[in-house]
Structures are given as structure tokens and as C-alpha cells.
Amino acid sequence: MATAYRSGWHFIDLVTAIPHSGDSLMVTVFGEPVVVTRDEDEDVRAYRCLRRPRGAPQPVRCAIRYGMIFVNLDQRDHRLVEPETPDVRTISATPRSA
């Protein structure tokens, strides 16, 4: 059942929990440690803490809505998606009256 909900957005805390740049918050989401931090530009970012040797923290999608912090752990949402280009064909048509 946990895998069904893993792909959604999950409430972490209020933005007021990390008011200053450099503040961070460590939470566990579905058994995975996630660090939410406020950087020097006052942006809120989230990282999955991997326990691999020499593994850098992996960015996690993070959004702020109505003063609340949400994260999404689903990797499918992290891939860049090319917009579908419709099959554009040029049709030369003449009016029926011609």
C-alpha cells in the first residue's frame, strides 16, 4: 500500500519551521530520510539522504503552497518531459468558389 501513496505530494511542515537561511529540518517519509533546508537565496529545497558510499544527497521535488512545505519522492516526476509536437502538415487549399 505504501508504494501507491509514494508517488504523491506529502505534507512536511509549515514554512515557519525553517524561517532563516541555513535552517534545516530532517524528516522521514516512507522510511527514507529527507532533509528540507532554506538556502542563502531564501529558497526552500529538499534532498533525499542516500546511504550509498560517496553518494551525494539526491534532490527531491519540493513545493510550497499556502505556507506549507510538500515533497514528492517519485522519480518519474523528476524526468524532463519533452512537449509532444503535433504532426503539423501544411495543406494548400483553394476556395470552392475558385
pLDDT the model gives residue 58: 83
Strand, coil or helix: 17: helix
CB 16 within 8 A of CB 35: no
The pLDDT assigned to 10 comes to: 85
Tens of pLDDT, residue by residue, the chain (98 residues): 455 566 788 888 999 998 888 898 998 888 888 899 998 888 898 988 876 666 677 888 888 999 999 988 876 655 444 445 555 555 555 556 55
CATH topology (fold) of 2-78:
Rieske Iron-sulfur Protein (2.102.10)
So what's the pLDDT on residue 36? 92
- pTM for the full model? 0.66
| Residue 26 contacts residue 33 (beta carbons within 8 Å) | yes
Three-state DSSP state, 34:
strand
- DSSP class per residue in 53-88: TTPPPEEEEEEEETTEEEEE--GGGGS--PPPPP--
